[in-house]
Structure 1
Amino acid sequence: MSDFHIRHGLGETRAAVIENFRLVEMHIARDGDGLAAGARLAGQLTRRLGARGIALAGGEELLVEPWPAGATEGATVTLEVTRAAWRERGRDRLAKARPTNLDPWPAPGLESQLHARGHVLKPGWPADVSSQWDDAFEAAQLGRLPFESGNLVLVPTPAFLAVDVDGHGLAMATPALTTLARAIRLWGLGGSIVVDLPTTDREQRSRAADAFDQAMGKLPFERTAINGFGLMQIVRPRPGPSILERAQLDRAGTEAIALLETALTDPATGPLALRPAPPVIRWLEARPQLLEELARRTHRPVSLTAGAADAQA
């Protein structure tokens, strides 16, 4: 059993799981995330694509798999979301759902999910939690995580998460894989993960794989053996975007949240003029309720004007 802290910010909720004073899990829910895994709701089937198809539910399109038996295009059915939508390089993936006979039900929030796992909510967002969070999120943005004899370099791709082990020495495999297990839990990494380890002998490969299995604890996963070229594949559930994907592929959202936080604490009076990069403006304009809430909390009129163009969509 672990403790966790919740921080409800403007446009974003964060949850930090702490064990022995150390941040071990990061969770984020952002305004506009769309349907979350676990939600059950009515959806209209719009297009059949063989054994699967597309439906419209909750204001967004979902990939439905399998297509409900006996259903036709235009029918309304109850769907259970199994995977939230997320952003990839060059495209966005639709949320995924399956037909269900259960009654509609909203997806549990972060606090409910962590309570259900036996974690204990602690009040506030202490300074040490904030510091660890900032360091871990920055590491996710950089895609680099150090270990005792090198670094993990993590790059999300549409096909899989590529993990390269950067360093020297034949004994790197064990610390690299135990650090990867920590990163999987910390950032919620899922889907297909391909690890490129230094070439080493069979005994060291076996020892490293065993260390990885132990470090993963109760986290669900499957993996291959480490082959003679140092490659290992891991497959995990992927209910939604990981912290790594949010940090690297949704920079506009990250910068928008930071801008709102800064604006909330601005001691000035009079009109509040925000001048972010165009992608950040687009992110905020798609969520006008956030600007309305900012104006309400600060008692200041808020305007958006294009500024530096260094943020990526």
Structure 2
Amino acid sequence: MAEWVVEHGIGEQRALLLDGDRVLAAKLRWPGELHAGQPVKLTLYSKPTGASRGVARDAGGTEVLVDKLPAGLSEGMSFDAVITRAAIAETGRLKRPQARHASAGTATPDGSADIFERGNTLRRFAPGLWEEVWDAAASGEVSFPGGSLLFSVTPAMTVVDIDGDLPSRELALAAVPALARALPMFDLGGSIGIDFPTLEAKADRKAVDSALEDAFADWPHERTAMNGFGFVHIVARLDGPSLLHRFASSRVGMAARMALRRAEMVEGPGATLLSVHPALKAKLTPEWFAELERRTGRPTRVETNPGLAIEAAQAQSVPL
């Protein structure tokens, strides 16, 4: 039976849905972010006359778009709400978190539906599991026999290009199982466009549609049939940034947290030497280093190496 497992890292929480040693889905949360399902106390900041939507602020000053506001609620009044979508950073802009007034049929969660609360907490995932997900999201590429999926995050949608050496029909059908695995693995939602090879025969397009129907039967979404140019549009629930969005907007932040994870995994006597690209060093806060040393019980040294890729931080044990 598939099970959610959680790893509380430094600067982030990670969750994997596992069936044995196979990753079925992944999620990521950074501390301090408002997340979907979270109850919050907000103060209404602005609301057009007669509108049911407005802008509110939480105690920390974060602006939240709120829906289903009661008619009698006026600016300056406080109220209870539930976050329905976390903030999503995009190139050049930030989509503010969204919420719904607590009286509008959105139940205040008790934690039972929160994967990070109800998942089985582990000290550390089995070797390679998180690395597999992280590396795929970092590269934006998922390989399958005969081809690969190439993911691109845009403000309008996430686009998936299918590339490979197989004949068009075989390539399209071979891509379907990889797609069905990749979308939940990246925690991807919202508007997703899939660019299959162009299939001229209607029967071939129907075969791909049927394969998609079977592959995504247990994943809530809406989907168009493949058009004559090989394009399929999928819309799924979006409640926060996917791993792909994280890399698109906060690549250095993702790499810094992974560097700390690698340092935390170092064993043996001595100190931990963490080698990072110079861009990462400014992202590694004193609080994070203090937590790293508390967890490992060993001092940490940091050296910068401009020859390292941002994603390729290295950690090893060295003499004190």
Note if contact 1:66-1:99 (Cα within 8 Å) is conserved in structure 2: yes
Give distance in 2, aligned partners of 1:95 and 1:227: 34
Deviation string, structure 1 residues 251-278 (Cα, Å, up to 9, x no partner): 12222213323444485459x9987644
Pairwise CA RMSD of aligned residues?
A: 3.2
CA separation of 1:14/1:105 partners in 2, compared to 1, >3 Å: closer, same or farther? same
CA positional deviation for 1:301: 8.0
Whether 1:112 aligns to 2:120 is: no
1:75 maps to which residue?
77
- Structure 2 CA distance for aligned equivalents of residues 103 and 227 of structure 1: 40
How is 1:30-109 mapped onto 2 (pairs within 5 angstroms)? 30-32=30-32, 34-48=33-47, 51-59=52-60, 60-101=62-103, 109=114
C-alpha distance in structure 2 between counterparts of 1:290 and 1:176, whole Å: 40
Structure 2 segments unaligned to the other structure (5+ residues): 312-320
Q: Which of 149, 167, 170 is residue 168 of structure 2 equivalent to?
A: 170
Match of 2:237 in 1: 237
State the Cα deviation string for residues 34-72 of structure 1 (Å, max 9, x = none): 111011121001122555221112522211124432221
**Alpha-carbon distance in 2 for matches of 1:284, 1:122:** 25
Match of 1:247 in 2: 247
Instruction: Give % identity.
Output: 33
- Give me the TM-score of the superposition, normalised by structure 2: 0.80
**One-letter code aligned to 2:152:** V
> How far has the Cα of 1:190 moved from its partner?
0.3
Tell me the equivalent position of 2:292: 294
Structure 2 CA distance for partners of 1:295 and 1:247, relative to 1, 3 Å: same
Give the TM-score, by structure 1 length. 0.82
Length, aligned pairs only: 299
Paired letter, 1:54: V
Instruction: Note the alpha carbon deviations across 1:265-312, whole angstroms, 9 max, x for none.
Output: 485459x9987644662x445xx6434423544667889898759759
**Post-superposition, which runs of at least 4 consecutive aligned residues in structure 1 deviate over 6 A?**
272-275, 299-307
Of 233-242 and 166-175, deviating more is 166-175
Deviation at 1:27, TM superposition (A): 1.9
The answer on whether the counterparts of 2:149 and 2:163 sit within 8 Å (CA) in structure 1 is yes
Q: Distance in 2 between matches of 1:30 and 1:231?
A: 34
Structure 1 unaligned blocks of 5 or more: 115-120
- How far apart are 1:215 and its partner, in Å? 0.9
Question: What SS class does the counterpart of residue 128 from structure 2 fall into?
Answer: helix
